Structure 1
């Protein structure tokens, strides 16, 4: 009798061990360079033609944008929007490029990125390295028509920089995501104060013509919860299209030049489920919630959608699972939908919203000491 060994994808068996011989920033640079080669794009498209990367059951809409899958690529992989088209060809329903800053800046000193392989996680203290809006505009101006929505993440050290970056990048995007939550940029803390946040949104609303999302900070304690849910409440009341929950978790990192960094990857998954549920309860039924943090499998993605997210985003999973992760999640989600008799993403997310609203009402009644 032959022993059948589990099939290990080529990336994990061969490519990842080779890439992980190099420092993470260098490995990322190599993969980004390869993605920009014409031969790589042809190979990706041939594979996509031979093996469909998504399923009609996964098509959905967020903030008026049609997406082929609820699986999105989070900001941080393609900081200057140089690999948007090939990344879309991998099966992502949408891509978040950036974070783009108004002026060019190098970010924090190295070392500023490390892997925690035993936990399939990473710590970064990048500090928004960016070529600036002028360079990113030139890159995107030379693009052909995009097959899927591009959301551009923008930020700044001041309100004026954020708004200027928003105005500069909106014509090149399908939506904007303002990043107020990077744990590696001290100047962003002011935008997590409710008054400053409300003022930022009022000014952004006055100038925008496309959907706007806010990337929320990670939290793990009651004080953080109160602050972040306060931001969600303001975003909802100001009529924002949605929020992304959430960014990396600030941790001590002696191996970094800064001494600290943002933890991402599998280590955050349980927190992601908790945060998405709480954010959805505060956001109500009308706002889009994008769930982000530690999503590696179709089961992970389904759980986050079931918790109240409209879409999921991933980044560290791409590093550990390779370029096939979006297609694998799409196939797995389609199979889960079929096995659970779910006809669409909308059906799943609608049920999650109703359940969250019911749970919130029940909790309010309990707090009011009304029998339930």
Structure 2
């Protein structure tokens, strides 16, 4: 076990989740520290290079939206070895989010419940911080955007896409009132078409999760509508909706290790239903190299993680990538599985 697991995590977990997140936010903004530690934490190997809807990343392990909501420490996340990082979710205006408590840890399951509801400083703040990053950094940064109206989302898209390598539009958070309007194919088509009309970077749509056959039959038209309207890829999928009275609003999204099997099945569903001509980023339950491999064999082009990072700390991306290299060596293969789209 590393220093994070034995020292830092027990200390951080003495604090409420959002307070601990604030400490992590501060630490990851100490750029000189992570620049010095980069050679020890990251893993470099040409065989890890991954293409997702024409975007080339140095490795397939990315950070999901939600960890750095206001684009404060994306550079630090890249320095510790992530192949790409997704800032946001950014909305046009600043938002307080839902009432607290809105995050609950489930350490026994290595999971989280959250009902954050897109708290953040808004578009102006995110745009300013992204402008301060170098072109090299921006080549590994995506940003998630959302809102409850087409015009607001389109403004976020127009202003942020020149500053990043790809845009993820979140129409699937279970914690935000109003997003379900985009679950209707005609509304989703109108949104994606508006964004495609002004697109000059790859555009991804983040889908809601599904478990039952009935839910799958509801979500596949959303996926197909997104691609038919011109989206370059999908993110599969958002957190799993749950009801829990430990959250102030009584409901939220469940993430972490227990949902991995669902993510594998959803990736296989989406790839099997819609073919190989799109990028597919798997999100949900991933925390080891074997799990990354399994998701890429199911059809993912790359993965995003969040909850496992909370439990494993800054050594996680490098460890996953070193283990992927070791697996390629042992298996005698020259590259990762998966479909780039």
Classify the TM-score, shorter chain. over 0.9
Counterpart Cα distance in 2 of 1:174 and 1:235: 19
* Number of aligned residues: 340
Moved more, 293-302 or 118-127: 293-302
Tell me the residue number matched to 1:297: 288
Shift of 1:64: 2.0
Q: For residues 30-52 of structure 1, what are the alpha-carbon distances to aligned partners after superposition, in whole Å with 9 as ceiling and x for unaligned?
A: 11011112xxx333222323565
8 Å CA contact retained: 1:156, 1:165: no
Kindly indicate whether structure 1 or structure 2 has the higher relative contact order, using CA contacts under 8 Å at least 6 residues apart: 2
Separation in structure 1 between the aligned mates of residue 274 and residue 128 of structure 2, nearest angstrom = 36
- 2:135 maps to which of 142, 145, 149: 145
Q: 1:95 Cα deviation (Å)?
A: 0.6
**In structure 2, distance between residues paired with 1:10 and 1:138:** 34
**Which residue is 1:184 aligned to?**
175
Structure 1 unmatched ranges of 5 or more: 1-7, 354-372
Q: With structure 1 as the length reference, what TM-score do the two structures score?
A: 0.88
Find out whether 1:44 has 2:37 as its counterpart.
no
CA 1:31–1:208: 2 relative to 1, 3 Å: same
Give structure 1 regions of 4+ aligned residues with deviation exceeding 6 angstroms.
none
What is the CA-CA distance between 1:56 and the residue it aligns to?
A: 1.5
Distance 1:36 1:282, change over 3 A: same
Give the alignment of 1:232-311 within 5 angstroms. Answer: 232-311=223-302
Deviations 1:49-73 (A, max 9, x none): 3565232210122222221001010
Q: Unmatched 5+ residue regions in structure 2?
A: none
CA distance in 2, matches of 1:143, 1:286: 31
Which residue of structure 2 lines up, in the alignment, with residue 368 of structure 1? none
Give the superposition deviation at 1:283. 2.5
Superposed counterparts of 1:13-28, under 5 Å:
13-28=6-21
**1:49 & 1:259 partners in 2: Cα distance?**
44
| d(CA) in 2 for partners of 1:155, 1:74 | 14
CA distance in 2, matches of 1:110, 1:71: 31
1 CA distance for matches of 2:298 and 2:213? 20
- 8 Å contact 2:206–2:237 — kept in the other structure? yes
Alpha-carbon distance between aligned partners in 2 of 1:326 and 1:61, rounded to the nearest angstrom? 18
RMSD: 1.5
Q: Distance in 1 between matches of 2:42 and 2:148?
A: 42
For structure 1, which segment, 271-280 or 225-234, has the greater mean C-alpha deviation from structure 2 after superposition? 225-234
